[in-house]
Amino acid sequence: MSLTSILRVLLTRTRKPFVFTNRGDGHLDYEGAERLGLYVHIPFCRTICSFCPYCKVVYDKTMAKAYKEALLKEISLVGGRSNYPKEVTSLFFGGGTPALMLADIKDIVTQLKRYFSICEGIGVELHPDDVSEETLLKLKDAGVTMISIGVQSFDADCLAALGRTAPDYGKIFKAIRAVKFDTVDMDLIFAIPGQTAKTLTEDIRMAFENGATQISTYPFIDFTFADNRYRPLSELEKRKMLREITGYCRREGFERTSVWTFAKPGTRKYSSVTRENFLGFGVSATTLLKDQFKINTFLLRDYLDRIEQGALPTALTLRFSLRQRAVYYLFWSAYSLQIASSDFHRFFGRSLKGMYGFELALCRMLGLATKTEGGYRLSERGAYYFHYVEQAYTTAYIDKMWNICRKVAFPQQIVLKQSNIDGCQYKLRRIDVYTNMACLCYN
Ligand code: SF4
């Protein structure tokens, strides 16, 4: 039995599979959801990067116009289901390359504000090529308070290994100095073939010295459906690099704010993945609520058709059992390094100790977590093992699940079957095909 299977059975205390179906009943109760976030996916890119696993297509002006109209309609379909305006924490535009719809972002924000009151700001993911004073000023005008730049690396050889060329850094740094945001995040990838500890720490130094208030460091993962020329470095190398990142940031006085993010002290932190609940709009966007996790179709044409018919573009829905939901909750709380007992109790109406006292005591014994006044904090050791488990889930489940979703608009069912170790059956919509696949809900 694999690590992912063992953890799933231990924490959910059942051998029952996770079942995703396309029998979405349209039920979407977010009225009472606290700490609700919003996510909008913009799938267009100028060119496709070989390493990228996300849902994206090459930009097409006509398609982008149709997509904007569909997004506005999806927002009203979802937003109109509740008493509005509903208070939400934040809004994040991811992709793809959201700046390719720069002229539309303000209209999308305005449409969202009809139904939602955004309290903690608006974030946008940016390709380095799009970072100019003109673009940043337009984003500010649309209400954006946080930008996240997909730098990946400042090293030309590392960029080449990822199939990228170096952008005009002078222009980027000048624009960041000229137009201020509460948070400037730079994404950096580690364990790129050919990367060394020295080039990695140089990347971090460059980022912080040139306007980043925080960095997000992700390991290079070779998705089976990506078109990578090279394989990532070994697990041992990854571990060394993660240690190098944490050591460097500690020495330089940067604060670790999650397993993969580090920030300048006194700056506003931002994470797009640690919301208790969120609503997702657009192709491949996911929605997480107390009772369910749902995934929109990955296929653009099918998304547009569904919206045209006035229906939600949901491809798959997982109905959570209490323990499945608790595991999901704990996973992302652990990512932010803190598990607050009071938040857990507020969300589930059950005590954290009552549900997971044994597991938490074991984590403390193994040096993975420490007890704090309000709950638990992941130790550095715990953060490493979290990173390891996260990667195992990504390759065992997400890789397979995304691979299905990028080919089939509305799969009938995806079942994570315990009896088949990490096996999972899925049936295509029309053709009755069965195959062994492994998958799990994930945002
Ligand atoms: S890495 Fe960014 S720009 Fe490249 S294909 Fe993926 S979403 Fe598009």
Q: State if residue 362 touches ligand 1 by the CB under 6 angstroms criterion.
A: no
Tens of pLDDT, residue by residue, the chain (443 residues): 555 555 565 556 565 667 888 876 677 889 889 899 999 999 999 999 888 889 999 999 999 999 999 999 999 999 998 888 999 999 999 999 999 999 999 999 999 999 999 999 999 999 999 999 999 999 999 999 999 999 999 999 999 988 889 999 999 999 999 999 999 999 999 999 899 999 999 999 999 999 999 999 988 887 887 777 777 788 888 888 989 999 999 999 999 999 889 999 988 877 655 678 999 999 999 999 999 999 999 999 999 999 999 999 999 999 998 988 998 899 889 988 999 999 999 999 999 999 999 999 999 999 999 999 999 999 989 998 888 888 777 877 788 788 889 999 999 888 765 443 343 333 333 222 223 333 333 32
Are 301 and 394 found together in one domain?
A: yes
Question: Quick one: 92 and 232 in the same domain?
Answer: yes
Q: Please indicate, yes or no, whether residues 215 and 302 belong to a single structural domain of this protein.
A: no
Residue 427's pLDDT is 36
In a domain, 280, yes or no: no
* Cα 231 to ligand 1 centroid, rounded to whole Å: 18
Whether 20 and 112 map to the same domain: the answer is no
Q: Which residues form the domain of 330? A: 3-24+289-427
Query: If you take atom 3 of ligand 1, which residue's CA is the nearest one?
Result: 45
- Tell whether 272 is covered by a domain: no
Q: Is 45 in the pocket of ligand 1 (CB under 6 A)?
A: yes
For residues 314 and 411, state if they share a domain.
Answer: yes
Please tell me the distance between residue 85's alpha carbon and the centre of ligand 1 in angstroms. Answer: 33
| Phi, psi dihedrals of residue 69, rounded to the nearest 5° | -60, -40
Joined together, the tokens standing for residue 170 give 């002078």
Q: Is 52 in the pocket of ligand 1 (CB under 6 A)?
A: yes
Nearest CA, atom 6, ligand 1? 52
What's the pLDDT at 429?
A: 33
Element (H, E) at 107: helix 102-115
Give distance in angstroms: CA of 97 to centre of ligand 1.
7
Please state, in angstroms and rounded to a whole number, the distance separating the CA atoms of residues 325 and 329: 6
Closest atom of ligand 1 relative to the 127 alpha carbon: 3
Is ligand 1 within 6 A of the CB of residue 54?
yes
Ligand 1: centre distance to CA 126 (Å): 10
How close are the terminal C-alpha atoms of the chain, in Å?
Answer: 24
Backbone angles phi, psi at 143, to 5 degrees: 100, 10
Q: Residue 282 domain-assigned?
A: no
**Element (DSSP H or E) covering residue 378:** strand 375-378
**Does residue 73 share a domain with residue 8?**
no
Are residues 255 and 358 located together in one domain of the fold?
A: no
Residue 166 CA to ligand 1 center (angstroms) comes to 14
Q: CA neighbours within 13 Å on the CB side: how many for 433?
A: 10
> Which residues, other chains included, contact 16 with Cβ-Cβ below 8 Å and sequence gap of 6+?
321, 418
Domains: count for the chain = 2
One domain, residues 307 and 257: no
> Which residues contact residue 344 at a Cβ distance below 8 angstroms, ignoring those fewer than 6 apart?
329, 330, 333, 350, 351, 352, 375
Which atom of ligand 1 has the smallest separation from the CA of 45? 8
Cα→Cα distances 117→35, 113, 217, 303, Å:
12, 6, 31, 26
Q: Report yes or no on 437 lying in a domain.
A: no
Q: Pick the residue whose CA is nearest to atom 2 on ligand 1.
A: 96
C-alpha closest to that of 72 among 279, 287, 282: 282
Both 162 and 205 in a single domain?
yes
What's the pTM value of the predicted model, to 2 decimals? 0.89
439: DSSP letter? -
Nearest protein CA to atom 7 of ligand 1, as residue: 96
One domain for residues 132 and 193: yes
